Amino acid sequence: MKASIKSLAVAGILACLSPLAGAEAINVPAPDFTLESRSGENLRLEDHRGEVVMLNFWASWCGPCRQEMPLMDELYSQYKDLGFTILAVNVDENREEAHRFLDKVPVNYPILYDPESSVSELYEVQAMPTTVMIDRNGNARYLHYGYQPGYEDEYEQQIRELVRE
């Protein structure tokens, strides 16, 4: 126990000196949550156990989100029949802003609302957007911070890998 605390402390210090890289592999259970969705019903992460879940945190004011969401929608339509879904958590305080955004950037995947930031806190969201790839067993496997053109290829590669497992 002592050793693990020590290693955590070291990791913490190093974290201060390290960039939060675009994408990294991890393997930890994804914390469960329940949020209201755009359709009005509550969606729970646990209920998607057995599916590959792309958990995406976005905001209407986030420029890169606007770039990646249409691309994510393509991935959604391409892989949703293979046991894949996207849960897109909107962090706007004002839901109207999200709706206005979605009118202009229409997507078919489920949108969840987190106006109190409880799920964003739970996942310690470090950037806008943040994407977590969750495997069929409910483990978070890949983390993406921000979006730059080309990330969609990584997303697709990881979705393919996790869908096959």
Partner 1 sequence: MAATDRRQLVRSGLLLLLALVPFGHQAIAATLPVDNVDVLYHRYDGGGMVIDGPSVLVRKGIGSSVSFSGQYYVDSVSAASVDVLATASPYEEERNEYTFGVDYLHDKSILSLGFTNSTENDYEANTVYFSVSQEFFGGMSTVTMGYASGWDEVGRVGNDSFSEEADRRNYQLGLSQVVTRNSLVGLDLEVVTDEGFLQNPYRQNRYIDPNDSTAFLYQPERYPETRTSTSVAMRALYYLPYRASIRGEYRYFSDTWGINAHTVELGYVHGLTQRWTLEGSVRYYSQNEADFYSDLFPFENSQTHLARDKELSSLSGTTLAVGAVYEWKQTSLPGIDRLQFSLLVDWLNFDYDNFRDVTAAGDFLPGEEPLYSFDAYVTRASLILEY
Partner 2 sequence: MRSLSIFTVSALLAASFAVSGCSSVKPWVKPYERDNLADPVMSLSRHGKADSYMHHVYQARESARGAEGGSGGGCGCN
Residue placing its CB nearer to partner 2 in the complex, 64 or 83? 64
31 in contact with partner 1 (CB under 8 A): yes
Residue placing its CB nearer to partner 2 in the complex, 40 or 63? 63
Residue placing its CB nearer to partner 1 in the complex, 32 or 47? 32
- Cα separation, 15 vs 3, whole angstroms: 18
Residue in the structure block whose two tokens are 């029949």: 81
**Binds partner 1 by CB under 8 A, chosen from 49, 127, 156, 163:** 127
Q: Report whether 77 contacts 68 (CB < 8 A).
A: no
84-90 and 52-58 beta bridge pairing? parallel
How many of the chain's residues bind partner 1 (CB under 8 A)? 44
Reduce the DSSP state of residue 101 to 3 states and report it.
helix
- Minimum CB separation of residue 127 from partner 2 in Å reads 5
Amino acid of residue 144:
H
**Binds partner 1 by CB under 8 A, chosen from 73, 95, 105, 115:** 105
